[in-house]
Amino acid sequence: MRRADRLFQIVSFLQGRRIAITAQDIADEFDISVRTVYRDIQDLITTGVPISGEAGVGYILDKSYYLPPMSFDVNELETLMLGAAMVSSWTDEKMAASAKSLILKIKNVLTAHDRETFSGIALFAPPSRAKLPWNIDFSYLRQSVRHKEVLDLSYADEEGIATRRRVRPLSLVFIGPVWMMLAWCELRKDFRHFRLDRMLNASSTGEIFTDTAETSLKTYLARLNYRDGLKD
């Protein structure tokens, strides 16, 4: 990664954070040494970026600081286009509309040269017969993950036997062509993956959960590989 790109990304990494981020966290994020972080932060401050903090404590960016749009290379533009196409084909109408809106916003802030490159990209992800249909509201599940809503889930196993589960939704996972919801299952007292095409109903219990050392997504990722968690 070019140093100029790294400096830009460090500012992006700090932007919107409410608490100080340590130099070690930044070093881990960008796979660089802590000494390099200190040097980069000092250079950013010297150029006028309003970063406050100090070594050993952490850094925070003034929330009023506006980061101007950056230019994209061809590979990055192709990634955006392909990602938007895949979202449109493999999620629901709300996500597809969001993907199209995102692409339009990006296009509007591109330079003339990048806009020309953007319009010439030919990457598509058309709908596939392999896509497994579901009756559950995909966007509702996304909101439940975002808002940490405990769900009352009616779910059918591979033999079609329905069960009721009380779950804490943690993430939506796509392993083509299957979409699954990773959750902490209060019945099993463990992490489980629930396939969207086997969900019969999902409704909010009205309860908001708080991540714990035992039940958080971070704990799951640290403890298991995805292949080990594909249960239910």
Share of the chain above pLDDT 90, in %: 44
Q: Residue 96 — very low, low, confident or very high, per pLDDT cuts 50/70/90?
A: confident
Q: Which of 77-81, 91-95, 174-178, 189-193 has the lowest mean pLDDT?
A: 77-81
Contact between 41 and 47 under an 8 Å Cβ cutoff? The reply is: no
Q: Which one is predicted more confidently, 151 or 5?
A: 151
Q: What pLDDT, on the 0 to 100 scale, is given for residue 224?
A: 67
d(CA 4, CA 24): 20
Q: Residue 230 — very low, low, confident or very high, per pLDDT cuts 50/70/90?
A: very low
Is residue 179's pLDDT more than 80?
yes
Q: Residue 1 — very low, low, confident or very high, per pLDDT cuts 50/70/90?
A: low
Is residue 69's pLDDT more than 70?
no
Q: What pLDDT, on the 0 to 100 scale, is given for residue 87?
A: 86
HSE on the CB side for 117, CA within 13 Å? Answer: 16
Q: What pLDDT, on the 0 to 100 scale, is given for residue 42?
A: 92
